Structure 1
Amino acid sequence: MTEFWKNITEDWQDDLIAVLGAALFVSPWVLGYAGQMAAFGNALIVGAIMVVLALAALIDFREWEEWIGIVLGVWLIASPWILGFTGLVTAMWTAVILGVLTLVLAGWSLYSHGGMSTA
């Protein structure tokens, strides 16, 4: 259990990704787009995956978890156009902003663990 608490302080990016995932998960109800199925489903599924992956990374870091986080960030940025909810401004900006933050944090975590070479 001490390794878990050590990871929480060292891998703060994963802590924030878990918070972002939880925020994404509840955003349809909080921001009022729960009735819009594409945006709603996207927020629930991607938010849940983000939380699970971030918690898994805190328990036992694996490089692939961060790569999936990067993919999820890219997906969130593109999802309003792919799923067709650009007209729902709140849902669109929620996905884009949380996507950018997730992409940056997952990349930062991967880089700080030596998973991305600068050479």
Structure 2
Amino acid sequence: MSLLERLSAYWQDTLNFLLGVGLFFSPWLFGFGTEQLAVLNAYVVGGIIAVMALMALFAFQTWEDVVSGLLGAWLVISPWVLGFTGSDAAVLTHVLAGIVVIVLAIWSTNEHGAGHLTV
């Protein structure tokens, strides 16, 4: 399977990769670069999501969807746990990204859980 075919067939992982990259750059894109904990959280979680999505594109393991779902849940609650609720942009970015990650993890598990190709 070519790279373009794989990206298209496993669009949830492709979208998750783009979401992780977007989350990584979100402090600059959405102007919450002064919120240190929000920035660190976006860097770390965004990077992990992007790397795991790439791994899933080429050698899927069911645990990757479970971890993605947990990371999504963390993104949803992290503004309150880490205390960066003073920045609407940071809160909205983390909560919306978290919801999308959770939905993609569930969708990917249901659609590809047993039939996802490994190379």
State the match for 2:67 in structure 1.
68
State the match for 1:18 in structure 2.
17
State the match for 2:87 in structure 1.
88
State the match for 1:113 in structure 2.
112
Q: Is the 8 A contact 2:20 2:45 kept in 1?
A: yes
SS of 1:93's equivalent? helix
SS of 1:33's equivalent? coil
Residue 114 (structure 1) shift = 3.7
Consecutive unaligned residues of structure 2, counting only runs of 5 or more, are: 115-119
Q: 1:61 to 1:3 in 2, by over 3 A?
A: farther
The number of residue pairs the alignment matches comes to: 114
C-alpha distance in 2, partners of 1:66/1:5? 21
Give the partner amino acid of 2:79: P
C-alpha distance in 2, partners of 1:110/1:5? 21
State the match for 1:35 in structure 2.
34
Normalised TM-score (structure 2): 0.90
C-alpha distance in 2, partners of 1:84/1:35? 13
C-alpha distance in 1, partners of 2:12/2:73? 17
Residue by residue over 1:62-111, the C-alpha shift from the partner in whole angstroms, topping out at 9 and shown as x without a partner, is 10111111001000000000000111100000000010000000110011
SS of 2:60's equivalent? coil
Residue 113 (structure 1) shift = 2.1
Normalised TM-score (structure 1): 0.90
C-alpha distance in 2, partners of 1:95/1:57? 22
C-alpha distance in 2, partners of 1:67/1:44? 20
Give the partner amino acid of 1:10: A
Identical positions, percent: 43
C-alpha distance in 1, partners of 2:30/2:7? 29
Cα RMSD after superposing both structures: 1.3
Q: Is the 8 A contact 2:62 2:113 kept in 1?
A: no
